[in-house]
Structure formats: structure tokens, C-alpha cells
Amino acid sequence: MAAVCDRERCIHCGGCVGVCPKDAITLRETRIEVDSKRCINCGLCAKFCPVGAMRIEDGV
């Protein structure tokens, strides 16, 4: 399990980066990168995302 970013919905604002307690998310110029090894599935990024692009997904 890890946070996943739906690139169709995401407008790469980087808001999720500022709320990740494990520093697992990085904002690249036009995409969000999640380090699945660091991610602890806390779901804060998914709760925060203004457009609902972040979610916790099984089997990733």
C-alpha cells in the first residue's frame, strides 16, 4: 500500500507535500512523486488534496 496520485485530476500544486509527515512526496514541475518505501499510508495527503487526486491504494 502507498499513496497514489491520479495524474488526470492532479494540478500539481504541491499541497500534499507540506502535509506529509514522512517527507515521502516530492513536487516535480508537472507531477507529484510518491516514494512508496517512505509512505506509511497515513492518508493525510488524500484528506488534504483540494481536488481529490491523492488516495491510498492497495497492492502498489
Sole residue written with cell 509527515: 21
- Residue 27 CB, shortest distance to another protein, in Å, is 5
- Helix residue ranges per DSSP H, the chain: 44-48
Sole residue written with cell 497492492: 59
Complex with another protein: residue 29 or 59, whichever CB lies closer: 29
Site for another protein in 15-44 (CB under 8 A): 15-21, 23, 26-27, 29, 44
Contact call for residues 45 and 54 (beta carbons, < 8 A): yes
56 binds another protein (CB under 8 A): no
60 binds another protein (CB under 8 A): no
